[in-house]
Amino acid sequence: MSEKKSAFTPNPDYLVQVSHLKQYFPISTGFFKTAMLKAVDDVSFDIRHGETLGLVGESGCGKTTVGRTMLYLYQPTDGEIWFGGKQIKSKESLKEYRRKAQMVFQDPYSSLNPRMTVADIVAEPIDVHGLCANRKEREERVRELMNLVGLNTEHATRYAHEFSGGQRQRIGIARALASKPEFIVCDEPVSALDVSIQAQVINMLEDLQKQLGLTYLFIAHDISVVKHISNRIAVMYLGHMVELASSNELTHHPLHPYTISLMSAVPIPDPQESRKQKRIVLQGDVPSPLKVPAGCPFRTRCSRATEACAQVRPSMQEVAPGHFVACHHI
């Protein structure tokens, strides 16, 4: 993280603010040679108190890296993260931030320790942050959390492998709630679950948000799921943010060519409307993040691309109230 004095001015209307976030990974490319993989390159956004911001894009576009870097599971290469009007950079601010910001992981099978009982898994953040005075208080808090996510408290002494995928994800959510967080990064929390279970988990996350006043960053590749739960949606492509707007605005009036292509792939339940829909199939493959095209990262697959797109990378511009797009041809 850069040590230079920040020129960023925090806004009290937002709980979380991310400014020019970068996350680069050194990758070996040969004998004593390395190249920088730009997983996240100059991404900025804000999340209001009690809001759900959806983050969508193809696999490998950097969505999960954004979420993990925000929580300092990766040390940011550059950029700033502000929480509650304070910049997260010192050890003291990071310790408090890690109590107030938690993560629900994608895979409910690998994110839970198989050697720990459910009670110990859920209580781990309580123990780390010293939130309960004694064992009785700890047990009561674990029961409260299990009830909150719809789990039977009698299962507290069992192990994670004894539960279904949906139940395991509920255990992961209970663990995330244990430290009484204000902000939760949901990293594709339903993608590994059956469709019938997905709806239950999504509805539970919405109920918890209303009940506890939570703020979410909801990461997913399924736009129909993101549309349902999110207030606003941000679209990422190859480590860059290309569009940001309200959920309704983005789904009905997408402007960036990449977003338009994504929206055209969303199934429509009405057969007549579905037949009218024109599917936009992108040409070519996603470039390697080790060799991101100069200028606009999407230009190699874009039907609108011109010479200007190869010369200058477009910045996010507000083209309508609350609707931001990074494209030279909007």
Average pLDDT (271-275) is: 66
**pLDDT in the model for residue 273:** 64
With a cut of 60, say whether residue 320 has pLDDT above it: yes
Burial 237-266 (b: 16+ CB within 10 A, else e): bbbbbbbbbbbebbbeebbbbbbebbbeee
**pLDDT in the model for residue 305:** 87
User: Nearest CA to 24 among 13, 9, 34, 11?
Assistant: 34
With a cut of 50, say whether residue 140 has pLDDT above it: yes
- Banded pLDDT at 222 (limits 50, 70, 90): confident
Residue pLDDT, tens place only, 46-61:
999 999 999 999 888 9
- Banded pLDDT at 6 (limits 50, 70, 90): low
- Banded pLDDT at 235 (limits 50, 70, 90): very high
**pLDDT in the model for residue 107:** 87
* Ramachandran bin of 60, using left for φ above 0, alpha for ψ from -120 to 50, beta for the remaining angles: left
Average pLDDT (186-208) is: 91
With a cut of 60, say whether residue 306 has pLDDT above it: yes
Separation in Å, CA 259 to CA 110, 229, 241 = 32, 18, 11
User: Nearest CA to 304 among 201, 105, 295, 89?
Assistant: 295
- Banded pLDDT at 147 (limits 50, 70, 90): very high
- Domain layout of the chain by residue ranges: 14-325
Distance CA(293)–CA(221), nearest Å, equals: 23
- Banded pLDDT at 2 (limits 50, 70, 90): very low
Topology of domain 14-325 in CATH is Rossmann fold (3.40.50)
| Average pLDDT of the chain, as a whole number | 90
- Banded pLDDT at 11 (limits 50, 70, 90): confident
Average pLDDT (180-188) is: 96
**pLDDT in the model for residue 303:** 85
Average pLDDT (207-216) is: 96
Whole-model pTM: value is 0.91
Identify whether the C-beta of residue 240 lies closer than 8 Å to the C-beta of residue 41.
yes
**pLDDT in the model for residue 264:** 82
Average pLDDT (238-242) is: 94
With a cut of 70, say whether residue 1 has pLDDT above it: no
